């Protein structure tokens, strides 16, 4: 006898489509469980690779589901100026009324701006009243459906569901068959629908247009799996499957425009293999919707992963109580499927479907007091990424490296070290222009490196624990970021070694070349110490010793030059408050690091566009 009840949404419907359909099915299943048991709180969505599984630990039979009362469609029929009046007895979303509601909100924001009033400083009651006027969470999805010419298929799916009111138990049978996970389940459900519709005098056509709003990987007719004809007509799919995909858009997808462009992106939650409880997903997703606004293309992908992680941590205590065991965020949600749409003027074309993963270095908080620590770690990444701008080529490359780092989950951290090496030059450039810039702390670097150590063929922990490595990394810091900061605030007795990171990176292609470049730096560093000591008559910074050199040579022999170089650069340009130069480090942190970019809602960020 089964200990769980599950519905299976196969990936043959394409991954993004399966994710959307699973979200729609999970909402329907939770509502049905509520009717049967009084609550629907234990529905779980998990990624089995070949399919998405919606399950509950309770044993629920098809006969029990057949007894539940009919429920209206989970989404509303969308009425625009072009659709005319909706069918009777259907929940309706008045598109034009929503646009007027949104327009009033932005006029109110504009009024505050003209008065030079920051809405964040408003009294709580006034700010709450303003937030009540903001665009509703479902608005971006409604805009996307209308904008991408999917309104007809969407409304027909809603109508088809509503038409099944008199035969709802038979519709349950179709759902049970459709998501049974058995071979040919979709075809069987389609055939059953045709017979059912004929028997009860319903529209018996089983297929609807498979729009790219919910089937982005699916091309036109010329892209059929079996190329028995060359046509450019649209694809079709079983209406009930399309219904659940549209329903899933409202529960697990977040459409956003690309800032300063008319291109679009949609982020769809990908559950992990272990899965996530639906009621907790609802709580996190609601907070994520409120915090995640439009941005530039690459940065928006990164911020989606970081901000969703922060939203999870903010709700972590309740989540652990509900799950009964400790798990880290990436154990629950893998990340997002990201669909990029290109504006072609009269239409939008799917340009790319990719994934962005949640950071896997965030561990499971073992107690409530650890939650803030991990939120601070995420916040540090958000602030560094938030200050980078894609309009500058150098910074765009940095953002691409960081996004690759999240997406790849490479234990060797190749993309991350490409980011830290490039970011070292960026830090020096910003500081030399007296512009604010934020640096990673050494603790943050260690969190990322150690989180991946058990997946590496050769762990990096021994390098980080070697005293010679730490001393040379400190010497790099005292020759670059620290004297550069001192120079911007007055004067420094030390030379600022511009281009050191780039030089070490280039020479790291060969062990001998790298050792020569590093030896040249170490020699100049010690000579400069002696020269300053002779002038100042007091010790000011520690020399690099022969023991340090021996340590670094041994590390290069045991690992390789690129590995040691990447770590030296990352640590050398990071911030370490524990060094003897802590006073400079702390001052640097207080005056040279920008705050997180302030975001205020705009018509663009909330998809308030006149489609």
Residue 582 falls within a domain, yes or no? yes
How far apart (Å, rounded) are the C-alpha atoms in residues 595 and 18? Answer: 39
Give pLDDT tens digits for 216-259: 987 654 455 555 554 445 689 999 999 999 999 999 999 999 98
- The answer to whether position 296 is within a domain reads no
* Contacting residues for 518 by C-beta, under 8 A, at least 6 apart: 472, 504, 507, 552, 568
Distance CA 607, CA 141 (A): 9
Residue 244 lies in a domain: no
Whether 367 has a pLDDT exceeding 80, the answer reads no
Q: Are 306 and 381 in contact (CB under 8 A)?
A: yes
- Are residues 143 and 102 in contact, defined by beta-carbon separation less than 8 angstroms? no
Domain residue limits at 447: 431-591
Q: pLDDT for 137-169, tens place per residue?
A: 999 999 999 988 899 999 999 999 999 999 999
Cβ(431)–Cβ(437) below 8 Å: yes
- As for how many domains the chain has, the answer is 1
**Alpha-carbon Rg for the chain in angstroms:** 29
Which residues face 8 on adjacent strands? 53
pLDDT higher than 50, residue 610: no
Helix (H, G, I), strand (E, B) or coil at 295: strand
Higher pLDDT, 113 or 2: 113
Interior CA angle at 364 toward 359 and 368, to 5°?
Answer: 125
pLDDT > 80? residue 12: no
Element (H, E) at 240: helix 239-252
* Residue pair 20/252 in contact by the 8 Å Cβ criterion: yes
356 inside domain: no
Residue 464 is predicted with a pLDDT of: 94
| Sign of the C-alpha dihedral computed for residues 575, 402, 303 and 305 taken in this order | negative
User: Residue 34, Cα to own-chain centre: how many angstroms?
Assistant: 31
pLDDT at 36 over 80: yes
Nearest to 358 by CA among 386, 379, 323, 331: 331
Would residue 527 count as lying in a domain?
A: yes
CA dihedral 25→26→27→32, nearest 10 degrees, is 90
In a domain, 247, yes or no: no
* Whole-number average pLDDT of the chain: 87
d(CA 349, CA 357): 24
Burial class (CB in 10 A: 0-12, 13-18, 19+), 42: middle
Strand partners, 54: 7, 45
Residue 491, domain member (yes or no): yes
Long-range contacts of 106-111 (CB under 8 A, 24+ apart): 106/602, 106/603, 106/608, 108/133, 109/600, 109/601, 109/602
Evaluate whether 263 touches 151 at the Cβ level (below 8 Å).
Answer: no
Q: Is the pLDDT of residue 607 over 70?
A: no
Which two three-digit tokens encode residue 30?
Answer: 């939770």
Using DSSP's 3-state secondary structure scheme, residue 98 falls into: helix
The encoded tokens of residue 482 equal 């620290």
| 392 belongs to a structural domain | no
Q: How far apart are CA 284 and CA 278, in angstroms?
A: 10
Residue 53, strand partner residues: 8, 46
Residue 11 confidence (pLDDT) = 86
17-31, 62-76, 470-484, 488-502: least confidently modelled range: 488-502
């Amino acid at each position: 006898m089964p200990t769980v009840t599950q519905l299976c949404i196969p990936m043959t419907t394409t991954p993004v489509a399966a994710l959307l359909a699973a979200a729609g099915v999970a909402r329907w299943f939770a509502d049905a469980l509520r009717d049967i048991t009084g609550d629907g709180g234990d529905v779980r969505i998990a990624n089995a690779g070949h399919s998405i599984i919606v399950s509950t630990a309770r044993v629920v039979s098809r006969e029990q589901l057949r007894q539940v009362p009919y429920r209206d469609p989970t989404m509303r029929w969308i009425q625009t100026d072009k659709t005319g009046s909706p069918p009777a007895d259907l929940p309706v979303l008045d598109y034009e009324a929503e646009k007027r509601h949104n327009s009033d909100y932005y006029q109110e924001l504009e009024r505050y701006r003209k008065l030079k009033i920051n809405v964040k400083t408003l009294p709580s009651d006034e700010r709450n009243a303003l937030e009540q006027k903001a665009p509703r969470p479902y608005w971006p999805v409604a805009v996307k459906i209308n904008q991408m010419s999917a309104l007809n298929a969407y409304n027909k799916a809603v109508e088809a569901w509503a038409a099944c009111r008199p035969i709802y138990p038979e519709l349950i049978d179709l759902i049970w068959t459709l998501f049974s996970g058995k071979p040919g389940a979709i075809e069987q459900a389609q055939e059953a629908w045709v017979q059912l519709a004929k028997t009860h005098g319903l529209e018996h056509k089983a297929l609807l247009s498979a729009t790219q709003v919910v089937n982005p990987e699916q091309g036109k007719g010329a892209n059929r799996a079996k190329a028995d004809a060359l046509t450019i007509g649209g694809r079709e799919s079983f209406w009930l499957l399309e219904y659940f995909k549209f329903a899933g858009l409202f529960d697990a997808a977040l459409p956003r425009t690309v800032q300063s462009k008319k291109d679009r992106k949609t982020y769809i939650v990908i559950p992990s293999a272990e899965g996530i409880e639906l009621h907790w997903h609802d709580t996190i997703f609601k907070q994520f919707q409120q915090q995640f606004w439009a941005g530039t293309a690459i940065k928006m992908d990164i911020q989606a992963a970081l901000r969703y992680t922060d939203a999870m941590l903010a709700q972590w205590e309740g989540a652990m109580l509900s799950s009964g065991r400790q798990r880290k965020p990436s154990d629950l949600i893998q990340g997002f499927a990201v669909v990029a749409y290109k504006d072609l003027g009269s239409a939008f074309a799917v340009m790319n479907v990719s994934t962005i993963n949640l950071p896997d270095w965030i561990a499971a908080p073992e107690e409530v007091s650890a939650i803030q620590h991990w939120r601070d770690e995420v916040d540090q990444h958000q602030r560094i990424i938030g200050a980078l701008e894609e309009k500058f080529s150098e910074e765009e490359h940095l953002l691409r490296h960081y996004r690759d780092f999240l997406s790849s989950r490479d234990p060797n951290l190749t993309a991350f070290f490409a980011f830290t090496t490039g970011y070292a030059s960026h830090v020096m450039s910003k500081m030399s222009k007296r512009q604010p810039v934020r640096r990673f702390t050494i603790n943050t670097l260690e969190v990322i490196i150690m989180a991946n150590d058990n997946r590496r063929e050769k762990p990096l922990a021994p390098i980080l624990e070697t005293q010679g490595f730490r001393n040379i990394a400190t010497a790099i810091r005292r020759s670059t970021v620290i004297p550069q900061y001192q120079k911007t605030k007055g004067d420094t007795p030390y030379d600022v070694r511009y281009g050191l990171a780039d030089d070490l990176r280039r020479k790291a292609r060969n062990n001998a070349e790298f050792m020569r470049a590093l030896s040249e730096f170490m020699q100049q560093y010690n000579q400069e110490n002696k020269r300053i000591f002779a002038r100042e008559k007091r010790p000011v910074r520690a020399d690099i010793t022969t023991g340090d050199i021996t340590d670094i040579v041994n590390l290069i022999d045991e690992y390789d030059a690129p590995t040691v170089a990447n770590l030296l650069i990352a640590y050398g340009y990071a911030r370490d408050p524990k060094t003897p130069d802590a006073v400079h480090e702390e001052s640097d942190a207080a005056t040279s690091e920008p705050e997180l970019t302030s975001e205020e809602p705009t018509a663009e960020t909330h998809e308030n566009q006149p489609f």
